[in-house]
Chain A
Amino acid sequence: MASKKPVRWHIAVFLAPAVLVYTAIMIIPLFGTLNLSLFNKGPDGVGFVGLGNFATLFGDPRWSASFWNALGNNAWFFLIHMLVQNPIGIALAAILSTPRLRMAAFYRTAIFVPTILSFVIVGFVWKLILSPIWGIAPGLLDIVGLKTLFAPWLGREEYALTTLALISVWQFVGIPMMLIYAALLSIPDEILEAAEMDGITGSSQFWKIKLPLILPSIGIISILTFVGNFNAFDLIYVAQGALAGPDFSTDILGTFLYRTFFGFQLQLGDPYMGSAIAGAMFGIILLGVCVYLFGIQTRLRRYQF
């Protein structure tokens, strides 16, 4: 328990710089945005409308169709990351952490390369590769005899979103890999040796010993993926533009927010509805994080080594 010292100044010293910078540059401006979402232009100037903007967003057909479309696409985007990116990341980390694996440093370095590239680069490079004009993708499929499978994936409504999600998986698989890798390496050798003494080796060692020990890290990765995906914007913006074509089939909350907030082509920017969308995104993310913090994290067992 806490001791009865009068004032523990060191706590304040440890916390002050982070809290100050964070509050001034992040929280106050964000609060300004949320505040803005409660206002809108009326016949007699800008006025307080309470939750009116949100009612419009969820209920008014002009807005709600786009909103639910973006939300659905975003959910699919997230699902693909959870089902593809994280299992691949964990598997790669587990393989990499095999003791005495040769060239492990090379693989680790190489697999992380896409993660360090900017969305600008990734978006353009994949657009070029998947482009039917340049013909790298059809050429490659032709080599393995699957040329008929080729389609202009980024240009077809039914494939575009999945393709972009997989590009994003390609880019970010290094992050779960690195986090899990660090977690696997920090498992003490004594535990693994004890397991080996009991005859638990290879894959059963992974499932029975290592996996339970890295569950907290997997939890962190899941919530990071969730937050990252529901904030995503750049890749879709770079590859498909603010209109998130074809026909809004790749529209996610980030691009929807951008279009509304800053306007595009014929639509004027609307800071009030934009703030309302930002508020809705905030609510969705907050909900997900609360489910994690109170529903999942508290049930994870942590071990001190």
Chain B
Amino acid sequence: MAKSRSSTGRTFAAHAILITWTVIALFPVFVTVINSFKSRRAIFADPLALPWPEHFDLVGYTTVLKQGDFFGYFQNSMIVTVVSLFFVLLFGAMAAFALSEYRFKGNTLLGLYLALGIMIPIRLGTVAILQIMVAGGLVNTLTALILVYTAQGLPLAVFILSEFMKTVSDDLKNAGRIDGLSEYAIFFTLVLPLVRPAMATVAVFTMIPIWNDLWFPLILAPAEEVKTITLGSQIFIGQFVTNWNAVLAALSLAILPVLVLYLIFSRQLIRGITAGAVK
């Protein structure tokens, strides 16, 4: 069939484009990781070669790992990210539902008020936030970070989720009401499952800036026992600017946990996206 031939060509082109961009996306990570396992001379002589036994050298890692508690940093980042994410999704979805579902006085105004937070970086209020945390005795606790990140994530979550909630059919919700479901039951059992793809998307959007943030850990929680992994690796890299082995090893150590975490979550995320879309 002529049609199948043209579709073979199209599939080939699609793969070619996707492979090209995949290479572009992964190349810098790849180069960093392979060079972190090489001796200093091999890093400069042949940066693209794999770390064959003759140049294999873990000197970068031994330098870096002597200096700090990477596992502890990782755990701190995990706790902060997961807890903040939970609150952002729960509170954000609740508020988005209220805004997109009910007509009440001040609805539009409240929507704009919440959307304001997308426009302004929360960093502009750092000085006042620090004062609040000092007053509440929350400096150098993970709670301080969780509070800030929850506030930071909410506006975008509300904005995106209410866009998606507008597409949930009214008939379905009204059918639920006729069957005697409470508004809470409608939200948790009817609407939430339907906006799951949007929730997954919001989760990724919220998670990344939290995990990667350098600013608030530096200001609100710089103590050793509450350091996040981004702050930890920034300090490492700063210490070893001219030691290429150590810099590359520190970068790899910062990349690998995120990568593993992402690979675990991405399956979840993609299942969420496709499950919701296929219905």
Task: Judge whether B119 and A289 touch: CB under 8 Å.
Answer: yes
Given contacts A120-B214, A282-B119, A304-B167, contact A18 B95 (CB under 8 A): yes
Report which of B26, B47, B167 forms a contact with A305, defined as CB distance below 8 A. B167
Q: In angstroms, how far is the closest chain B Cβ from the Cβ of A43?
A: 25
**Is there an interface contact between A182 and B277, defined as CB atoms closer than 8 Å?**
yes
Tell me the complex Cα distance, A195–B38, Å. 56
A128–B230 Cα distance when bound, in Å, is 19
Chain A, residues 98-137, CB within 8 Å of chain B (1/0): the string is 1001110111111111111111111011101100001110
Taking CB atoms and an 8 Å cut-off, the chain B residues in 169-205 that contact chain A are: 169-170, 182-184, 187, 197-198, 200-201, 204-205
- Determine whether A216 belongs to the interface, using a CB cutoff of 8 Å to chain B: yes
| Of the residues A25, A109, A216, contact of B266 by C-beta under 8 Å | A109
Residues on A with C-beta less than 8 A from B79 are none
Is A47 an interface residue, CB under 8 A from the partner? no
- Min CB distance, B123 to chain A, in Å? 8
Say whether B277 contacts A21, CB under 8 Å. Answer: no
User: Taking the nearest CB of chain A, how far is it from the CB of B104, in angstroms?
Assistant: 6
Tell me the A81-113 residues at the B interface (CB within 8 Å).
88, 91-92, 95-96, 98, 101-103, 105-113
Interface membership of A61, Cβ < 8 A: no
Contact B44 A109 (CB under 8 A): no
B270 at the interface (CB under 8 A from A): yes
Q: A25-B151, A114-B25 are in contact. List 4 more A-B contacts (CB 8 A).
A: A14-B98, A26-B122, A109-B270, A117-B255
Instruction: Give the number of residues in B that approach A within 8 Å (Cβ atoms).
Output: 103
CB distance from B267 to the nearest CB of A (A): 8
Option from A2, A121, A135, A303 in Cβ contact (under 8 Å) with B255: A121
> A66 contacts the other chain (Cβ, under 8 Å)?
no
Q: Is A50 an interface residue (CB 8 A)?
A: no
Listed stretches B10-18, B51-59, B61-69; interface member: B10-18
Contacts A111-B21, A136-B31: A118 and B254 contacting too (C-beta < 8 A)?
yes
Sampled A-B contacts (24; CB under 8 Å)? A10-B182, A14-B94, A15-B98, A21-B154, A22-B117, A25-B150, A25-B151, A31-B125, A33-B125, A98-B14, A101-B11, A110-B22, A112-B266, A113-B25, A116-B259, A120-B233, A121-B233, A124-B251, A129-B28, A170-B24, A220-B160, A227-B119, A271-B127, A275-B124
A182 B197 Cβ-Cβ under 8 A: yes
Contact A29 B147 (CB under 8 A): no
* Number of A-B pairs, beta carbon distance below 8 Å: 261
Asked if B86 is an interface residue, CB under 8 A from chain A, the answer is no
The A-contacting residues of B in range 1-34, CB under 8 angstroms, are 10-11, 14-15, 17-19, 21-22, 24-26, 28-29, 31-32
Instruction: Let me know if A14 and B255 touch, CB within 8 A.
Output: no
- Whether A234 is near chain B, meaning CB under 8 Å from some CB there, is yes
**A110 CA to B126 CA in the complex, in Å?**
35
> Is the C-beta of B263 less than 8 angstroms from some C-beta in chain A?
yes
* Main SS at interface, chain A: helix
Indicate which residue in B18, B118, B244, B259 contacts A107 across the interface (CB closer than 8 Å): B18
- Do A286 and B119 touch (CB < 8 A)? yes
> Nearest chain B CB to A282's CB is how many angstroms away?
5
- Flag whether A197 is at the interface (Cβ < 8 A): no
A42 beta carbon closer than 8 Å to chain B: no
Q: Which of A51-59, A148-156, A173-181, A244-252 contacts B (4 or more CB under 8 A)?
A: A173-181
Cross-chain contact B94 with A116 (CB below 8 angstroms): no
Rounded to whole Å, the gap between the CB of A19 and the closest CB of chain B is 7
Closest to A181 in B: B273
Q: Taking A118-B230, A220-B163 as contacts, is the C-beta distance between A95 and B276 under 8 angstroms?
A: no
For the complex, give the distance between the alpha carbons of A234 and B213 in Å: 9
In the complex, B70 has a CB within 8 A of chain A? no
Residue contact A202 to B10, C-beta cutoff 8 Å:
yes
Q: Give the residue of B32, B48, B151, B159 whose beta carbon is less than 8 angstroms from that of A139.
A: B48
Tell yes or no: A62 within 8 A of B by CB.
no
Binary CB contact string for chain B from 135 to 177 against chain A (1 if under 8 A, 0 otherwise):
0000000000001101110111011100100110110000000
Contact B212 A26 (CB under 8 A): no
Q: How far is the CA of A139 from the CA of B27 in the complex (A)?
A: 14
Are A185 and B277 in contact, with the CB atoms below 8 A? yes
Is B132 part of the contact surface with A, judged by Cβ < 8 Å?
yes
B258 contacts which of A117, A139, A286 (Cβ < 8 Å)? A117
CB 8 Å contact bits of B264-279 with A (1 = contact, 0 = none):
0010001001101110
CA of A35 to CA of B86, assembled, Å: 33
Give the distance to chain B from A45, nearest Cβ to Cβ, in Å: 19
B116 contacts A by Cβ under 8 Å: yes
Q: Provided the pairs A113-B26, A118-B230, A134-B47 are in contact, do residues A185 and B155 lie with their beta carbons within 8 angstroms? A: no
- Chain B residues lying within 8 Å of A170, measured Cβ to Cβ, are 24-25
Let me know if A204 is at the binding interface, CB within 8 A: no
Question: Which residues of A, 270-305, contact B by the 8 Å Cβ criterion?
Answer: 271, 275, 278, 281-282, 285-286, 289, 293, 302-305
* Residue B114 interfacial (CB < 8 Å): yes
| Residues in A whose Cβ lies below 8 Å from that of B239 | none
CB neighbours (8 Å) of B151 from chain A are 21-22, 24-26
- Determine the chain A residues whose CB is within 8 A of the CB of B211 once the complex forms: 116, 118
Q: Closest A-chain residue to B99, C-beta based?
A: A15
In the complex, the answer to whether B233 meets A139 with C-beta atoms within 8 Å is: no
- How many angstroms between the C-alpha atoms of A106 and B25 in the bound complex? 13
B247 to chain A, nearest CB (A): 7
